Amino acid sequence: MPYATTDELEVYYETHGEGRPLVLLHGGGGNHLAWWQQVPHFQDRYQVITIDFPGYGLSRSKNGEYDNAQYADAILAVLDHAGIDRAMTLSQSAGSYGSLRLAVTHPERVTGAIMASNLSPVGDEISELDDIGRAAARKLPVKDFLLLKEFQQKEPEKVFLFFQIGSINTTGPGRPTPSRNSVKNSIPVQQIRDAINAGVHITFLQGTADVMMHPPAYDRLRELLPEANVHMVEGAPHSDYWENPERFNSVVDTILDRVYPPQG
C-alpha cells in the first residue's frame, strides 16, 4: 500500500491504469473507496490516482489534528511520491478545498481542476452566497442533503454502502474527530484568474437538483470570473457521482476530451 509522507502527514493513495494522470479527490463523507464507479470508467484512458485526505480512510495527520488546509499538501505529496509533474484533478464537494488551493498555489503542478458541488473555498462574496444554500441544507438530516430521497427509496443498498464507506473515517460528517475549515472563503477570485492565466483549466461543475446549491452564487461567479467554466447539469444532485455515475462520468468525459484528452 503506497503512502506519501511529509513531516505532518501520512497520505494513502492508489494508482489504477496508465496514461495522463487524473487525480480523484473525495468529499467530506468519502475516501478513496467512494470512486468505485469512476475508477473502472477512467482507468482505460488515464492513470487514475485516488487519495485519502488526512483523517479519511487510511490517511492521518501525525499530530492527530485535522484541517482542510492539509488537503493541498496531501495532493502535492502524492504527486511527488508518484513522480507526477502535472496532473488533472477531479474533486467532489469538500475535495475542492484541496484542488482549488493547489491550483492557485502550485499552478505548475495542475493541468486543470474540475470541482463538483462546492464554491465554499472561493472568496469575494462567492462563499457567502454559496453558504445561503448550505445553511438551508444543514437543517436537513445528513442523509437528505447528501442523497436525494428518491434515490434513498430506490437504492437502499447503495445508500447503506455510501455510509459504510464513510464510517471508516476519523473525521468528516458524523465522525468522532472534528476538522477545521480554514480554507473556506480564503481564495480570492484574482488568484483563480492568475492560475487560469498560468494555464490551469478551471471548471465548476454543479447539479441543479443539489439541495445545497444557491443559484445567485453561480450567477455572481460568472460575472466575477468569466475566464472559468461553470457547467450546470440539469437534475443532478449533490452526489451525482454516486447516484448517477453514468451521467456524471459522461459529463466529466466531455470536459476532459476538450481540455485533457488521452495521449497516444
Give me the mean pLDDT over the 94-108 stretch: 98
Write down the pLDDT at residue 143: 86
The identity of residue 196, as a single letter, is I
**Measuring CA to CA, which residue among 20, 193, 225, 187 is closest to residue 100?**
187
Domain-embedded: residue 13: yes
Domain-embedded: residue 264: no
Alpha-carbon torsion, ordered 74, 79, 80, 86, to 10 deg: -130
**Measuring CA to CA, which residue among 255, 66, 251 is closest to residue 169?**
66
- The string of pLDDT tens digits covering residues 80-90 is 999 999 999 99
Write down the pLDDT at residue 263: 84
Write down the pLDDT at residue 255: 98
Write down the pLDDT at residue 264: 66
Let me know: does 66 contact 55? Beta carbons within 8 Å: yes
**Measuring CA to CA, which residue among 33, 26, 217 is closest to residue 128?**
217
- The string of pLDDT tens digits covering residues 165-195 is 999 999 988 888 889 999 999 999 999 999 9
pTM for this model (two decimals) = 0.96
Q: What is the mean pLDDT of the chain?
A: 95
Domain-embedded: residue 224: yes
Domain-embedded: residue 200: yes
Per DSSP, 219 falls in state H
**Measuring CA to CA, which residue among 89, 200, 43, 185 is closest to residue 128?**
185
Domain count, the chain: 1
Domain-embedded: residue 36: yes
Given a cut of 90, is residue 233 above it in pLDDT? Answer: yes
Let me know: does 202 contact 195? Beta carbons within 8 Å: yes
For the domain that residue 175 is a member of, what is the CATH number?
3.40.50.1820
pLDDT category of residue 207 using cuts at 50, 70 and 90: very high
Instruction: Give the range of the structural domain holding residue 32, as residue numbers without chain letter.
Output: 3-258
